[in-house]
Chains A and B, each alone.
Chain A
Amino acid sequence: MNKHIVFFVHGVGDDAKGWSKDVRADFKALCDSYPLPPGGLPFGELFQTEEIFYNNFFDDWRKRVGEEAGAAVRMFGDGGLPPNAVTRLLEAGTGAGGGGFLRTHALDALQYRYLRLVSESIRSTVERQIMLKLTETDFGTPVRWSIIAHSLGTSVVHDTLHAMFRPGAGAEGSALFQPYAVVMLANVSQLLHNAKVLGEGVDAFGSFVKPNREPDQGACRYFLSGANGFDPIALAGDFKPPVHWITDAARAQRRFRPLEYKAIPKSRQVHGFGEYLAHPAVHVPLFRILSGDPDRITDAQENDAHAKYKAANPLPVPTDLKRRAIEELTQRAAQEGWFERIAVWKDVIDKFAGL
């Protein structure tokens, strides 16, 4: 019996293999915290959670360049025989291998946006990891899978799914194994969209990654987009699709769910992956949709969850320094300038985020 596979895709930062362990454990604990409805399946019988990891591409490349440049620098010692310009090139190479320049979070996003060799390799590895898991499912039972992406991961997932499932060459037969739900938390897929990747004139609102019952009209059955009103990155992402984004039927069937809320969690990590999932405005509709059971969590239980969340995460007073800093960043994030909106990223990650 195939379980519903749920992939987790990370955002920017120093994520290492195994990054999702706690997020997935918390996700299960959240689901289990609600009483099972009559005949409902427990989490373990319903879901199989899997991690997707793409940072090793960045890391391996940076390490290799850094080591080679470092070896060249060491060969000449402190004497510094090469001209200054060459020395600076070598230092740029060694810098790539360590922290600094290429490891800053905002630049992770910019690398993904502007270095096609990097972004294409990332999409390729994400695709392979998804497909590998699908081949491990049982023959003779339908495969159902969903994907939950966070931050930069939303752009990666959007672009990957568009490439995998948009009708045409290279996507033959893909209508047969589309994802069930695509869940984007702090969705920056429109902010970082690249028409050179998606196709001439295509943005995240014109791509094939939209929900529809019919596989020839959309890449998934449900699309959920989470945004915390206090998360500057979500505000910068500004994922607000136009009305015509999905068909009338899809709209009537509520296949797109904007999961919006405004909260500052106790940890103050307004952008954290785990913090997004922990909010009832996100996980209640998510569990209902993923389980295929709209009654998995009752309305009363949902209201209770909201009340408990508010009690556990009271909004800091307006004079609270962290709150003021967050609000300042949200104002910057709402600015028109594209680079300004990207630049906010680094400050948010440095000051408030994490997993």
Chain B
Amino acid sequence: MSKLRTFVKSFAAATLGALLASAALAQPAAQKSCAERRAKMADATPYRVATSLAAASCLGGALDADAFTRRVNRLFETAARVEGQPLRMAIRDVTLSEQENRALVLAVLRVAEDYLGTVQGAASGSDAADAGRMRASLQLALRDRSDGVQQGIQSPAQVTAFWTWDAGQPDSGVAGIDIRAMLIRSGCDAAPRSAACAVTQSTVEGLLRGAHLVVRAFTPLQAAAIQAAAARAATRDARWRSYFADARSQYPWELYVNSLVYESRVRSNLGISGPPNWQWIVLHPDAGMQYVRSAAAGDRFKPALVLELLGYNRWSWGGDHKPHNAWGASLVRTYADTVSVPSGAWGVAVHYNNKYTLTLSRHDGKTGILLSADLLGALTSISQAWVDRFRIGD
């Protein structure tokens, strides 16, 4: 709430400040840039001028030196500012509460409404009626917003597309206004252009500016939606990466089997699903060191291959989006180059943390222990003395 209060206070200050000092605070480079663009289009049609200026952010956009646009710029800067820190305007750096977002949307909509009031006042005849219609749509959006109605539920004016100008679709208009028709109506397509054309051109540019300010008013909602979707996507992607990097590796046929099972489980999900927290282990070959205490000395500690026939591994996702507390087990067949005990044996493997595997096997009534390379390494690092005793046996 403190941030909201700060924002509201800053909003009032920014509005007043911008009104008093709009000309003095205008960015000369930006002003010049838009003015230059306009000057270069001296021979272009008013429609071409308007659409080009709109595309160049000169009508309600970042380069526009208009006082109302600058008020809007100030509002966004104020909302994004965090005391004691340099201004950062990237969406990822701006954190606003729902109330702050709502207040910002309303504040910008009010500036746009004020602006369209001036456009309507300066327009004449049918142009004024068009400006009035656009302003009425905006007032409707403002009322819906003030009442807390969510976007898209009530009037079309709540939707950004309603206000977005697309020069490729002049007939579909912006906010229901066909600006090309307005210009033709005033004789802007005829040569020489009528005196009324200049007035209409100014009105058209004003309407495009007003519409763009409304589009900008909705950008805090867009930013919030982007932030939320980006956060979900980042979590999901981090887990997928971990699934392939940190969970037990999968041979191609295991990937196929797990894909089939996974598909059956996420089939009813809408959207992109996260990775599973489990995996079936199927015909998975692995290597390790086998110890059979009662085997002949040369056969006691030998490299061995383990074929996991069927197993299952499961874990939970931690806050770091990596598998935690993973446990699994498999039915296995082991193979080692031994003479005093059978080279092949049946057994059971237990997996921990997707890394360590301990296998117990039966060789004609004799028990063998098989350690995965990772487990052996861990044990080695824990106690070399213990490993020596393990190797030699009693």
Contact = CB atoms under 8 A, between A and B. Distances in A.
Interface of A: 1, 37-41, 45-46, 57, 60-61, 64-65, 68-69, 71-72, 75-76, 79, 81-83, 86, 89-90, 92-93, 96, 101-102, 114-118, 120-121, 123-125, 127-128, 131-132, 134-143, 160, 163-164, 166, 168-177, 196, 199, 213-216, 221, 253, 288-289, 291-295
Closest 6 A/B residue pairs (Cβ): A170-B271, A39-B52, A140-B76, A173-B225, A1-B62, A131-B230
A294 B167 contact: yes
Interface stretch (B10-18, B124-132, B234-242): B234-242
Contacts of A136: 90-92
Contacts of B56: 39, 41, 45
Contacts of A177: 222, 225-226, 229
A115 B263 CA distance: 9
A132 B230 contact: yes
Interface stretch (B245-253, B323-331, B380-388): B245-253
A282 B6 CA distance: 51
Contacts of B37: 39
Contact of A142 (B215, B234, B273): B215
Given A139-B76, A173-B221, A175-B152, 12 more contacts: A68-B286, A82-B307, A124-B237, A125-B237, A128-B236, A135-B230, A136-B92, A139-B219, A140-B220, A176-B218, A196-B267, A253-B172
B222 A213 contact: no
Contact of A160 (B52, B92, B151, B272): B272
Interface in B44-70: 44, 48-49, 51-53, 55-57, 61-63
Given A65-B249, A96-B252, A75 B303 contact: yes
B263 to A, nearest CB: 4
A128 B234 contact: yes
Given A65-B251, A81-B337, A141-B61, A120 B285 contact: no
A40 B234 contact: no
B43 interface: yes
26 contacts: A1-B62, A39-B55, A57-B240, A60-B244, A64-B249, A69-B285, A71-B287, A72-B287, A81-B305, A82-B305, A114-B256, A116-B260, A127-B233, A131-B230, A131-B234, A132-B230, A134-B91, A139-B76, A139-B79, A139-B94, A139-B219, A142-B222, A173-B228, A176-B221, A253-B172, A293-B52
B233 A140 contact: no
Contact of A76 (B48, B52, B222, B305): B305
Interface string B314-330: 00000000000000000
A166 B227 CA distance: 18
Given A121-B240, A136-B90, A143 B259 contact: no
B333 to A, nearest CB: 9
B168 A289 contact: yes
A168 to B, nearest CB: 5
Interface of B: 37-38, 40-41, 43-44, 48-49, 51-53, 55-57, 61-63, 72-73, 75-77, 79-80, 89-94, 151-152, 159-161, 164, 166-169, 171-172, 215-216, 218-230, 233-234, 236-237, 240-241, 243-245, 249-253, 255-256, 258-260, 262-263, 266-267, 269-276, 283, 285-287, 303, 305, 307, 335-337, 343, 373
Given A38-B48, A117-B259, A131-B230, A171 B240 contact: no
A38 B244 CA distance: 52
B223 A139 contact: yes
Contacts of B75: 140
Nearest to B222: A176
A170 B258 CA distance: 24
Contacts of A141: 57, 61-62, 216, 219
Contact of A294 (B168, B240, B275): B168
B44 A292 contact: no
Chain B interface, >50% SS class: helix
Contacts of A82: 285, 305, 307, 335
A38 B270 contact: no
A160 B233 CA distance: 12
B242 to A, nearest CB: 11
A33 to B, nearest CB: 20
B52 to A, nearest CB: 3
A131 B276 CA distance: 22
A102 B230 CA distance: 32
A75 B303 CA distance: 7
B58 to A, nearest CB: 9
Given A116-B266, A164-B271, A215-B161, A64 B337 contact: no
Given A128-B234, A132-B234, A136-B90, A38 B255 contact: no
Given A39-B48, A117-B258, A164-B272, A60 B90 contact: no
Given A72-B287, A140-B73, A293-B51, A173 B224 contact: yes
A142 B160 contact: yes
A72 to B, nearest CB: 4
B285 A89 contact: yes
B40 A114 contact: no
Contacts of A134: 91, 226, 230
B305 A174 contact: no
A76 B303 contact: yes
B187 to A, nearest CB: 21
